[in-house]
Amino acid sequence: MAEAGRLKVPATTMPWPEPVTALRVAIIAVTLLLWEAIARSGLLYRDVVPSLTAIGGAIWRLLAIPDSQSPTLSFPLTDFELPLPSFYWHLWVTASEVGTGLLVGGLSGLVVGLVLGGNRLLAKSFEPYLYYLGPTPKIIFFPVMIMWFGVGPGSKIAMGAISCFFPIALSTAAGMREIDKVLIQVGRSFRANAWQMATKIYLPAMRHPIINGVRLGLGVAIIGTLLAETKLSNRGVGFLIIQAYSLFDMPRMYAMLIVLFVVAIGANALVGRFGGLHAIRQR
């Protein structure tokens, strides 16, 4: 078998916690302690560094305390209605904007990537546009998006879509070209038709670049959508953040940033895990 003969290191049975975990805990603990110290010392202007308890309280209020504008979650067939903190409604708004933007941008990116990856001439003619337009700050297009799609969710979805279109198109095109040529030859030698080639050979062979592209696309779609919300919106997590800024409610802003980061990193990890699970048994 392939891995026979590989030396196995005996598992250590030390009573101490693993050094890596210990170090991580130490770093986090020291950071939190320093933070609290600065907060209490009054060194910086009052609320720029709020105490941990203030932030903790704000997170609690954000996630668990329904407020005056709370939407309610009604359970069908019962009279029971659960009032939710309005944060979840805003989170839902943002999530659906990001999701739609990712869908629109992702699908068009996939199609464009497949076309460009499959044809040398088209790739040489048009891929440079994608390649050089990719690393530009998409938020500057926002005024144009507002003009085209209005001040509502449309412009935010559009921001998410143009943000994720480029990385997905580029990684799909690159993925097409990186497919092991011999796999295509195998398909041809067995006389697979175009549909079979596409579904049984091209797409599976590209699963890694596509998943990586989607991960990247998700990340930039989140950023694009949220930035648009901070600039011009009356709903969504971005709106809440800028609202906290204008009200100078710092604990609330920190709370939202923390929750946002956890959600964003979590979503990214989920997509990565989904792609990774697929790849665990394969190369």
Partner 1 sequence: MASATTLPRSEAANAPRPADAGILVVKEIVKQFDTPEGPLVAVDRVSLNVRPGEFLAVIGPSGCGKSTLFNIIGGLLDGYQGVVAVAGETVHGPHPAIGMVFQEESTFPWRSVIENVAFPLEIAGIAKKDRLEKAKKFIALVGLNGFEKRYPAELSGGMRQRVAIARTLASEPKILLMDEPFASLDEQTRLLLGDKVLQIQQDLQQTTLLITHNITEAVQLADRILVMTYRPGRVKRIVDIDLPRPRSSDVVSSEAFGRYVAQIWNDLREEASRGMQDEESRALHAGEPP
Partner 2 sequence: MSLGVVTRARSFPLVLGLGALAAMILAVEALIRLGAINRFIVPLPSQIVMAFERVVLEEDIAERFRLTFLEALAAGAMITVVGVSLGLLLFRVNVLRRATETWVAAMASAPTVLMYPLFLVIFGRSASTIIMMGFVAGLPPVILKTIEGLAGTRRVLINVGKSFKLTGPQLFLKILFPAALPTIFVGIRLGLIFTLINVVGVEFLINFGGLGQLINDLAERYDLPGTYAAICFVILVSVCFFVLTEWIERWLRPVD
Judged by CB, which is closer to partner 1: 69, or 189?
189
Out of 17, 83, 143, 204, which residue is the one contacting partner 2 (CB under 8 A)? Answer: 143
Judged by CB, which is closer to partner 1: 205, or 244?
205
Q: Using the rule CB under 8 A, is 23 a contact of partner 2?
A: yes
Q: Using the rule CB under 8 A, is 24 a contact of partner 2?
A: yes
Place of tokens 């359970």: 75
| Cβ atoms 171, 210 nearer than 8 A | yes
Q: Using the rule CB under 8 A, is 148 a contact of partner 2?
A: yes
Task: Provide the 3-class DSSP secondary structure of residue 80.
Answer: coil
Q: Using the rule CB under 8 A, is 93 a contact of partner 2?
A: no
Binding at 270: pick from partner 2, partner 1, none (beta carbon under 5-8 Å per type): none
Minimum gap (Å) between residue 128 Cβ and partner 1:
24
Q: Using the rule CB under 8 A, is 241 a contact of partner 2?
A: yes
Place of tokens 């708004």: 93
Binding mask 143-182 for partner 1 (x = CB under 8 A): -------------------------------------x-x
In our burial notation (b when 16+ CB lie closer than 10 A, e otherwise), range 178-206 reads ebeeeeeeebeeeebeeeeeeeebbeebb
Task: Provide the 3-class DSSP secondary structure of residue 112.
Answer: helix
Q: Using the rule CB under 8 A, is 124 a contact of partner 2?
A: yes
Encoded amino acid at 159, one letter? M
How far, in whole angstroms, is CA 82 from its chain's centroid? 29
What is the spatial distance between Cα 34 and Cα 211, in angstroms, rounded to a whole number?
A: 39
Binding at 264: pick from partner 2, partner 1, none (beta carbon under 5-8 Å per type): partner 2
| Cβ atoms 236, 229 nearer than 8 A | yes
Q: Using the rule CB under 8 A, is 132 a contact of partner 2?
A: yes
What is the spatial distance between Cα 232 and Cα 158, in angstroms, rounded to a whole number?
A: 13
The residues in 261-280 that bind partner 2, with binding defined as CB under 8 A, are 261, 264-265, 268
What is the spatial distance between Cα 31 and Cα 36, in angstroms, rounded to a whole number?
A: 9
Minimum gap (Å) between residue 211 Cβ and partner 1:
12
| Cβ atoms 214, 103 nearer than 8 A | no
The residues in 185-224 that bind partner 2, with binding defined as CB under 8 A, are 215-216, 219, 222-223
Tokens of 131: 């390649």
Minimum gap (Å) between residue 243 Cβ and partner 1:
47
Which residues would be at the binding site for partner 1 (CB under 8 A)? Answer: 1-2, 180, 182-183, 185-186, 188-192, 196, 200-201, 204-205, 207, 278, 281-283
